[in-house]
């Protein structure tokens, strides 16, 4: 999905986009960190982001064991795939995560993308759902234009896999925003749990 997002963003002649990926060597439970940058000036070299305006957490358990938010700049937006009701997400975040959200005044959105994917028959594939949320939250494209370009990318990426796969992914795009919620951030840290 991030590779498709790079293509979608770079379609505009006045915008430059680049993706840079850090892959884990483990096969099971592996993590991939995708660095997506874009702007109106050319990007001349690949480099890792050290100050991010948007962080997407595709697996909630990553928040339990690593400092995923360490590169979030003050006021950044965070999108979390959480298997919890939006009202319960805060209570499941560990103390350092809550502290970081409060200290950096992060804006946090949550969606049970895994649940949505399961209900639509996509199994564990949440990329299309989270990609739709990214474009909706970031405002980098008008919402209708973002959806149109995502649907076009789905056709290009999955077209050979059959109409059924296409329709499931289109349904994921169409239903994603109905399940997206902005987290109500309380005034203080409530957890005593540390990172594993």
Q: pLDDT tens digits, residue range 8-18?
A: 776 777 877 77
- Percentage helix, strand, coil for the chain under 3-state DSSP, each rounded to 5: 45, 20, 35
10: tokens are 């770079």
Q: Are 18 and 42 in contact (CB under 8 A)?
A: no
Please give the model's pTM, rounded to 2 decimal places. 0.83
At 156 the pLDDT is 87
Mean pLDDT of 163-180: 93
Mean pLDDT of 124-141: 90
Helical packing angle, 143-158 and 2-10, nearest 10°: 120
Q: How far apart are CA 157 and CA 61, in angstroms?
A: 28
At 141 the pLDDT is 85
pLDDT (tens digit per residue) in 23-55: 676 666 667 667 667 778 887 877 777 888 999
- Closest Cα partner for 136 from 111, 104, 165? 111
The residue behind tokens 């001349």 is: 44
pLDDT tier for residue 130 given thresholds of 50, 70 and 90:
very high
- With H, G, I as helix, E, B as strand and everything else as coil, classify residue 78: strand
Q: Which helix (H) or strand (E) holds 73?
A: strand 72-81
Q: What is the mean pLDDT of the chain?
A: 87
């Amino acid at each position: 999905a991030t590779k498709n997002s790079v293509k979608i963003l770079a379609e505009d002649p006045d915008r430059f986009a680049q993706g840079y990926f850090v892959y884990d060597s483990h096969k099971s439970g592996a993590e991939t960190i995708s660095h997506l940058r874009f702007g109106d000036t050319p990007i001349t070299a690949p480099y890792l982001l050290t100050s991010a305006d948007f962080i997407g957490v595709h697996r909630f358990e990553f928040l339990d064991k690593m400092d995923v938010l360490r590169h979030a700049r003050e006021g950044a937006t965070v999108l979390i795939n959480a298997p919890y009701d939006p009202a319960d997400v805060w209570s499941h975040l560990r103390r350092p995560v809550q502290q970081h959200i409060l200290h950096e005044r992060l804006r946090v959105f949550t969606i049970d993308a895994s649940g949505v994917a399961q209900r639509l028959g996509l199994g564990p594939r949440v990329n299309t759902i989270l990609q739709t949320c990214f474009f909706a939250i970031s405002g980098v494209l008008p919402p209708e234009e973002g959806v149109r370009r995502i649907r076009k990318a789905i056709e290009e990426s999955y077209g050979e896999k059959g109409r059924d796969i296409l329709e499931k992914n289109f349904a994921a795009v169409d239903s994603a925003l109905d399940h997206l919620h902005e987290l109500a951030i309380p005034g203080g840290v409530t957890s005593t749990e540390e990172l594993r």
